[in-house]
């Protein structure tokens, strides 16, 4: 991975590993937080070009994952920033942010890009 630009699946896997490593830390430095933001944008860009688009909305996907994992919306409050954020995301009134997508991806062991809104 050169200059944080993701061009290959290998670059993408390394970027995802870096994101997972940074997200596992309790407190990120401002530099690490900035790196997470840049990597999130690069991962989203690469994966949206590489993988076919899903017609499923982020809210529908989250509801599906909750059901499949026998969880309730309140189980995501700490990941999404509180019960009101969970409710707003699930109702489609709020978009999933990059940091939230990364946390959801880590929680459900899937690519964070699937939680980001299309278009």
Give the mean pLDDT per block of 10 residues along the chain (119 residues).
77 90 86 90 86 78 94 94 94 92 93 80
Place of tokens 């993701």: 6
pLDDT of residue 56: 81
pLDDT at 57 (0 to 100): 87
For residues 42 and 62, membership in a common domain is answered with no
CATH of the domain at 81: 1.10.260.40
Same domain? For 31 and 75 the reply is: no
Is 40 within a domain?
yes
Residue 39 lies in a domain: yes
pLDDT for 119: 54
Question: Do 38 and 77 reside in the same domain of the chain?
Answer: no
Between CA 13 and CA 91 the distance in angstroms is 32
- State how far the alpha carbon of 105 is from the alpha carbons of 2, 3, 24, 58, in Å: 24, 24, 12, 12
Q: Does residue 15 lie within any of the structural domains?
A: yes
Q: Are 98 and 114 in contact (CB under 8 A)?
A: no
Angle at 66 between CA 78 and CA 50, to 5 degrees: 95
Question: Can you give the residue range of the structural domain that contains 42?
Answer: 9-50
The structural domain count of the chain equals 2
């Amino acid at each position: 991975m050169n200059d944080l630009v993701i061009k290959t699946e290998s670059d993408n896997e390394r970027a995802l590993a870096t994101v997972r490593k940074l997200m596992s830390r309790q407190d990120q430095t401002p530099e690490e937080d900035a790196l997470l933001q840049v990597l999130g944008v690069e991962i989203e860009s690469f994966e949206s070009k590489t993988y076919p688009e899903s017609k499923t909305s982020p809210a529908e996907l989250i509801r599906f994952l909750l059901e499949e994992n026998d969880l309730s919306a309140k189980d995501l409050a700490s990941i999404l920033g509180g019960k009101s954020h969970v409710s707003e995301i699930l109702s489609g009134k709020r978009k999933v942010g990059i940091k939230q997508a990364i946390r959801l991806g880590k929680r459900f062991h899937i690519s964070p890009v699937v939680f980001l809104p299309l278009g």
